[in-house]
Amino acid sequence: MAVLDQTVGASERERVDPTSRRTSTAETPPSEPLHAGLAVVLEDFAGHLRAERNRSGHTVRAYAADVRALLQHAQRRGCTSVDRLDIATLRSWLAAGQEAGAARATLARRAAAARTFTAWALRRGLLALDPGLLLGSPRPHRHLPDVLGHEQMRLLLDAAAELAAAGSATGLRDRAILELLYATGIRVGELVGLDIDDVDEGRHVVRVFGKGAKERSVPVGLPALRALREWLVSGRPRLATPASGPAVFLGARGARVDPRIVRAVVHRFTEQLPGGEPMGPHGLRHTAATHLLEGGADLRSVQEILGHATLATTQIYTHVSVDRLKAAYERAHPRA
């Protein structure tokens, strides 16, 4: 039985979820030119993140935007040289953000960017002391991630398989995307970055490059491998162009698929599940991790599969599983 509208995956037309383009005006620093000396330092810092820290383009842009806002704030306080940056300026910058209604997570991110910047400036000899060492920040609230239940996930993948059976290239692709996201728990950026040589069918693994260009091999189950093979053999050749290169997943025009398209695919499938709420690829990552732990996988193995730098990041999924167990207990036990 098809769960989803038959237009999903059956059309060659790509539709991007408009919510993926939303930006917050509170995150955008005021359009204010920096003093020439501060502008040069900011550019050097961004270059350091790109070349020496090997940060992603997204991370570089986010940190650079935060540091630009910090330097603009310092400039308004009469500071036109980095060597005059002090803890009072850092704290007043965060306080201004808090008064403007910035979320705790936003303030925590800004504080992290400021500490990274001042530590770099100290190493470069631009600061005599590092004021960032004295900078505290609010700990962001850790919200438990939304996950799909086992039955919801089965219905979603069955619906994807039914739509793929219609034979459209995008239907085959979308099924392979959903199967692979759930089977591996990889991030959307890791999925769209996959090349054909990264798929090792013999060993049942895919090679992905995570944050900081860290490479890892992730196990893949047989259903996902079968869906991936069907896409590569029967779907991909119909979309491929000379510009496709080695990309595993392609958009309707033959280029490497855009992350926004993947988010739109997951969103359309999940929003039509019975009792389900629309979610993006990260929701399937949460779901995969939770189902692994519920199935008996140890926390360290899940950490390796997800590519988390620390075990503390993975531990949030144990809370999800405990909450689900408590809910099941309260539904089933006569004296709960």
Residues marked active site are found at: 187, 211, 282, 285, 308, 317
Name the residue among 8, 6, 2, 29 with its Cα closest to residue 278.
8
- Token representation of residue 136: 């505290």
The strand order across the sheet containing 215-219 reads: 199-200, 205-209, 215-219
- Token representation of residue 139: 């700990």
Name the residue among 103, 108, 126 with its Cα closest to residue 40.
126
Name the residue among 82, 59, 53 with its Cα closest to residue 70.
82
Name the residue among 161, 204, 153, 186 with its Cα closest to residue 289.
186
Distance of alpha carbon 168 from its chain centroid, rounded? 28
HEC readout, 118-135 = HHHHHHCCCCCCCHHHHC
Alpha-carbon gap, residue 61 to 42, rounded angstroms: 11
Beta strands at 215-219 and 205-209: parallel, antiparallel or unpaired: antiparallel
Cβ contacts of residue 295 below 8 Å, gap of 6+? none
Q: Where are the alpha helices (DSSP H) in 52-149?
A: 57-76, 87-99, 104-123
Q: How many CA atoms lie within 13 A of 33 on its CB side?
A: 3
Contact 209, 193 (CB under 8 A): yes
Q: How far is residue 148 from each of residues 88, 159, 277, 296, 325, measured CA to CA in Å?
A: 46, 15, 9, 18, 14
